[in-house]
Amino acid sequence: MTRILEAYVGEYASGKSENAVNRAVKLAGENRKVTLVDLDIVEPFYTLRPIKKELAAMGIDVVAWETKETDGLGEAGTIIKPEMRWVLSRPGDVILDIGYGVEGAKTLNLVEDALNDPDLKIYLVINIARPMTMTEEDIWEYALQLSPIHGLINNSHLGDETDLEVIQEGARIVTKVASRLNLPVIATAVDERFADQMDSQDCMGNPIRFLKRFMPKTFW
Amino acid sequence: MTNDIKPVSGEKKVFMTGNEVVAWAALAAGVDIMYGYPITPQNEIMHYWTRMVPKFNKKFLQTEDELSAGFATLGGVLSGKKAFTATAGPGNILMQEPFSMAEMMRIPAVLVVQQRGGPSTATVIYSQQEVTMTCYGGNGEGLRIVYSTAGNQDLYDYTIKAFNTAWKYRFPTFVLGDGYQAKMRESLTIYNPEERGIDLVPATPMVGAPGTPGIHREPNHLRNTYNTEEELFQVIREMVTEYNLIAAEIVECDAQRCEDAEIVLISHGVVSRACLAAVSRLRELGIKAGYFRPITLRPFPETQLRQLAKNAKRLLVVESAEGQLAKLIMQSIYGLTIPMENYFRPGLGITAEEVVSQVENLLVVY
Amino acid sequence: MEVVQPVMPQSWRIESKPHKFCPGCGHGSVLKALGEVIDELKIQDRVIFGCDIGCSLLAWDFFNLDIIQTHHGRTTPVITGIKRARPELIGVAYMGDGGGYAIGSQHLVNAATRNEQVFVLLANNTNYGMTGGQMAPTTLPGQKTETCPYGRDVKETGNPTLGPEMVAAIASEGAYVARGTVANYRQLKKFVKKAMENQLAGNGFSFVEALAGCPTNWRTNAEKTWAFIEQKMPEYFKVGELKIPAGIKEG
């Protein structure tokens, strides 16, 4: 079976980590061997560290520091764990959570052979409620800056105040940008609390991925 | 021709992180220039400000340290431009020097502080341990204004207000947040203040006004030294008098369910969210709990607190520090005999559940 | 009999004269050069003058200019802040050797490396005068001060700071760096003028150190004061231009 190699990139707080974690959980649930990698190197916060044990119990191999192993996070803390550099040489699926930063997908240069690997798919996660990625034009410019990317994911929401409208509006805008870029919309990602209110596809016909919320447990 | 695109028009519901909110609020408040230096957990204020600089024709300077960031901010303000800087922890210690100069010289500078664990490097994460320093740091009488925010909407509203307050009353003004608020993701409504009826106080230059000094106008000779003790005493007396006079216009607080309260929970900043939730829960359990939140820590809502302290049976101070808020409270209620308990958790977040437990334990004892 | 008054620069403020500097102090000459240059370049409407803590503080009401007296060592960042916010103004940061090379060195170095468009004018009289004559970064080997009463020992405290050399080494293309002396007023004034023109042209950072006398703390009479400035100081501090933007004539 072909292995799945995916990197999740996007704006700060766009939902990259939540999507990456959920993807890893789903693949592990299908009895696949999965490695999940935490590559947040700009401002270490809201990353995978605190839920490492919980994910490991689900059979996911998490490459991330444990909080107590790091010295003075953000000040004197060690950033890259050496294993991260060679993570693609592991068997099985690899899901990469790429933290934000002005260089975007270039972080992948730190992973040996990542950008050369023909099987690696880089997905851009978009939340249209985030000011820098609200309009079609903004998202288009942003996507161009971050290339290469292979697909878009609509993760539009307003946290606790999310409604169906923002999700569907996101689907519309992201789909428009995707067609301009000649790229697929991989999915619209939605909090599982909306499961009974939505079909398996959004208003533009993209598949829906329901997300279990893991990230709130990772507040430092 | 100026490129004057309004950063925010009308009203919009968005999903942001605290630091970003500060940058957007500064834009909405008409700020021209930010000076800054990197320190966790406030770096995204600069990351977002610099991304927006070209879009909205703003300016930014990253300086060599917080001393320089603070003093350069004073320079920007002196020249008649709305300017601000932001910091945390050890950076806040350095900011006390420039902001002392601002206190003495009535320079309307704004500082945003995202508190982290202290003292020294401690943690980059969170605390409420910079209250004393932000309110009374520097070598003066603390003639400054401090707003303690409790989340994204507050950060937006009070960052805009901070510039208006500073330029109207001419005391340095601080927005006191913390590392949790800085990184917290929640929705809020961003708006154009003038479209909501909030006038923006204009900036005026203290140096570099039009006209040649000595020919068209008197020069402005600004100093912060005095020759005799008597001179200094006069100056401070006048400043204190003015500060006390305007305090009533500036002071803000929120009190809920205190009229019949057996115990009033007092907290500020993000901890007040936990306390508000705790009061709800306690009331469900049949305990008559009340909630008091000072929003301005300077000037402190002394009158309001004294009033409710007269009616309540007991106070419980809840803070992520070892008594920094408690000190401000004790100063305010001096003379009253109401018992005061405390729940001090320096550097640690506080949940509503913990607070409920604390109150239950206290009431068992009593 | 008519008393002949020396001509004061127009940008000087008559109401604050006679000034408060000591008799024989170097600051008077340096500020005269600055005043004359402001007059000649006709920029009195645009110059913002910042002074530091120390004897430079006594210049706080010296000119008919907007003046801001700052904290010790912080004049450079305040003037930088003004210039960044209002580039049409001319920023002059005035300080002594302590304000520039000790507490303010961090700011001097970084303003130079960032090529801030400001003019830092520094009076070097080898001691902290205002506070009673303590050792300064530019105190000469063997020179006695209140905090090196037996004479500066270079083994303990290193050699005098060579400020313009340091700035010239790290400054960018477009910077102007020079060291003048009150013992050669015409040359000092020429350097001050070129520094000011450098900012007006928008080239970059401008820095002039002026060797100046402090007879009060040196405890020297007029003759010995001049000997120190003219003979002793140049043994360590070479007078001349150290960096000139391309295309501008060597002075």
Contact C120, C147 (CB under 8 A): no
Q: Where are the beta strands (DSSP E) in chain B?
A: 11-17, 33-36, 59-62, 83-87, 110-115, 145-148, 173-178, 185-191, 221-222, 253-256, 263-266, 289-294, 296-298, 314-319, 340-344
Cα of C147 to nearest chain B Cα, Å: 25
Residue A138 and residue A153: Cα distance in Å, rounded?
Answer: 16
| CATH number, domain B254-365 | 3.40.50.920
Question: By the CB < 8 Å criterion, does A219 face chain B?
Answer: yes
The Cβ of residue C31 has, within 10 Å, a number of other Cβ atoms equal to 27
Contact partners, residue B250, CB within 8 Å, separation at least 6: B145, B165, B169, B296, B299
Query: What's the token pair of residue A11?
Result: 């704006």
Cα of B362 to nearest chain A Cα, Å: 30
Tokens 């301009």 belong to which residue? A180
- Look at residue A2 in the predicted model and tell me its pLDDT: 87
Residue ranges covered by each domain of chain C: 18-243
Using CB atoms, which residue from A13, A74, A130 is nearest to B124? A74
Query: Contact A73/B17, CB-based, under 8 Å?
Result: no
Does residue B1 surpass a pLDDT of 50? Answer: no
Using CB atoms, which residue from B68, B209, B225 is nearest to C57? B225
| CATH superfamily entry for domain A5-218 | P-loop containing nucleotide triphosphate hydrolases (3.40.50.300)
Mean pLDDT of C158-162: 97
B26-50 confidence digits (pLDDT tens): 999 999 999 999 998 999 999 999 9
Which chain A positions have a beta carbon within 8 Å of B17's beta carbon?
12-13
Interface of A with B in 58-87 (CB under 8 A): 72-76
Helices then strands, each counted (H, E), chain A: 5, 8
Regions of chain A where pLDDT drops below 50: 76, 220
pLDDT averaged over chain B? 96
Using CB atoms, which residue from B32, B98, B208 is nearest to C66? B208
Cα of A124 to nearest chain B Cα, Å: 18
Residue A182 burial by CB count (10 A; 0-12/13-18/19+): exposed, middle or buried?
A: exposed
Cα of B74 to nearest chain A Cα, Å: 28
pLDDT averaged over chain C? 95
Mean pLDDT of C214-227: 93
Instruction: State which CATH number among 3.90.1150.10, 3.40.50.970, 3.40.50.1100, 3.30.450.40 fits the domain covering B11-196.
Output: 3.40.50.970
Indicate where chain B has its CATH 3.40.50.970 domain(s). Answer: 11-196
- Look at residue A50 in the predicted model and tell me its pLDDT: 74
Query: Contact C81/B65, CB-based, under 8 Å?
Result: no
- Look at residue A104 in the predicted model and tell me its pLDDT: 66
Contact A121, A23 (CB under 8 A): no
B148-203 confidence digits (pLDDT tens): 999 999 999 999 999 999 999 999 999 999 999 999 999 999 999 999 999 999 99
Query: Contact B221/C84, CB-based, under 8 Å?
Result: no
Mean pLDDT of B2-11: 76
Mutate to test the interface with B, among A42, A46, A219 (most CBs of B within 10 A): A219
Band the pLDDT of B2: cuts 50, 70, 90.
very low
Fold of C18-243: Rossmann fold (3.40.50)
Using CB atoms, which residue from B40, B186, B187 is nearest to A74? B40
Residue C50 and residue C72: Cα distance in Å, rounded?
Answer: 11
ipTM: 0.90
Pick from B3, B279, B6, B22: nearest CA to B147: B22
Contact B321, B343 (CB under 8 A): no
The type of residue at B340 is M
Residue C220 and residue C214: Cα distance in Å, rounded?
Answer: 8
> Which range (A4-18, B231-245, C70-84) has the least confidence?
A4-18
Indicate where chain B has its CATH 3.40.50.920 domain(s). Answer: 254-365
Question: By the CB < 8 Å criterion, does A218 face chain B?
Answer: no
B63-120 confidence digits (pLDDT tens): 999 999 999 999 999 999 999 999 999 999 999 999 999 999 999 999 999 999 999 9
Residue ranges covered by each domain of chain A: 5-218
Dihedral Cα C219, C222, C228, C234, nearest 10 deg? 140
Band the pLDDT of C62: cuts 50, 70, 90.
very high
Maximum Cα interatomic distance, chain C, rounded to a whole number of Å: 58
Pick from C246, C243, C29: nearest CA to C37: C29
What is the count of residue pairs from B and C with beta carbons less than 8 Å apart?
Answer: 141
Residues forming a β-bridge with B289: B263
Chain length of chain C: 251
